[in-house]
Structures are given as C-alpha cells and as structure tokens.
Amino acid sequence: MNRLSENDIQVLQEALDDEYHAWSTYDQVIRDLGDVQPFSNIREAEARHIEALQSLFVQYALPVPENPWIGRVERYANLQAACEAAAAAEIANVRMYDRLLGAARNPDVATVLRNLQEASRMRHLPAFQRLYRTRRRAEALRSAASSGHGLVPSTRECSRSILTHEKTRWCRSPPATAQADTKRMRTSPADAIPESDRQSQYR
C-alpha cells in the first residue's frame, strides 16, 4: 500500500474538518429550530461525506480525527438566518475544494474531493437557495398584505444570488402575478427539482 504524502494528508484533514463543521452546524440548526428541510436531508448527506473522507484515512492507515465542532458552532435565531449562512458556507465549501484539488496529488483523494464538491455545488447550495428565496418571497408578501401597499420584490431581484447584497428593487405587482412569476424562475439546474425534495437529491 502506498503512503500518502504529507501534503495529501493535510488536504484530507482540512476537508474532513470542514465536513465536520458543516454536519455540526446543520445538526445544531435542527436542534434549535426543529426537523426542517433541507437541513435534515443535507445533514445526512454531510454524514456520508464524512464517511467517504474517513474511509481514506482508514485505507491509508492514518488516525481518524475526532469531530471538534459539536456544540461549538454558531447558532441562529430563525430559519432565514440559518439558511443564508448555510448557502454562504456551501459556496465557501466549493471554493475550498477548488483549492484542495489543486494541491492533491493522490488520485484516490482527488476523486473523493471532486465527488464532494459536486454534491455541494449541484445539490446542497441550490436547495438552500430555493428555501431562502421562498421564505424571502413569503415574508415580502406578508409585509405587503399587512401594510396594504401591494409592494413586492421584483422577479429580477428575486432571481439574483442571495449573496450579492445588491440594493432591493421594488415593483408594483399584484401578489398573484408575483407568485406566478416566482414559480417560473429558474436560476440553476437544481431548480428543476420539485419543491418536495427527496433524500436522493442530496447524495
């Protein structure tokens, strides 16, 4: 059995630490806010990511680090804040894997990293983005209904990335029309998945 280089060992350790942090964060959200989707399914997916990385430690006879993040992660007052933070974390995760893939030399390590990156980019991130848009839209409609002004975010504004932090654009549009526009919006391949997300989409 070939040994891993010190560089590949550091790559594995950083990837596992990040997946530990993600699992612990989503687990804390569920403990604080209830068994809510997509956090429940993605927590299970993160557990599979952890197992994939741990298997490489075992394969190369390396000690498996413990999860240092349980009970030590940031907590969120509501689902909206948790969802925005989760989307930002998944974006950071994808970028981390870009960097680690550039450093990895062992083909077994590189294969696992690519698989985990793909899951974050194509499944986890779009799921959190959909939830964020849905809840933001619902909040805007509730505010419009309570104020009687009929102001709702424009379709263009709702379709932007949640992390651009651009100034909100508003339009006068009847809620029924706005809801129909929201259903037609598609900003990523994962948006074609029905809202009744199934566990298989997070693998």
Domains of the chain plus CATH, in order, are 6-131 (1.20.1260.10), 136-202 (no CATH)
Question: In angstroms, how far is CA 97 from the centroid of its own chain?
Answer: 14
The answer to whether 119 and 171 are in contact (CB under 8 A) is no
Which residue from 67, 63, 57, 65 is spatially nearest to 27, judged by alpha carbons? 67
DSSP 160: S
pLDDT at 149: 57
Annotate 69-99 with b (16+ C-beta within 10 A) or e (fewer): beeebeebeebeebbbebbebbbebbebbee
pLDDT at 137: 86
* Coil, helix or strand at residue 172: strand
pLDDT at 198: 40
Backbone dihedral angles phi then psi of residue 61, each to the nearest 5 degrees: 55, 45
Give the residue carrying structure tokens 């985990």: 116
Low-confidence ranges of the chain (pLDDT < 50): 152, 154-202
The identity of residue 150, as a single letter, is: G
pLDDT at 129: 93
Tally of CB atoms within 10 A around 196: 6
In whole angstroms, what is the distance from residue 166 CA to residue 185 CA?
19
pLDDT at 142: 83
In whole angstroms, what is the distance from residue 41 CA to residue 36 CA?
9
pLDDT at 147: 74
pLDDT at 155: 42
pLDDT at 150: 52
**Does the bond joining 38 to the residue before it have cis omega, within 30 degrees of 0?**
yes
* Strand-pair partners of 172: 151
pLDDT at 9: 98
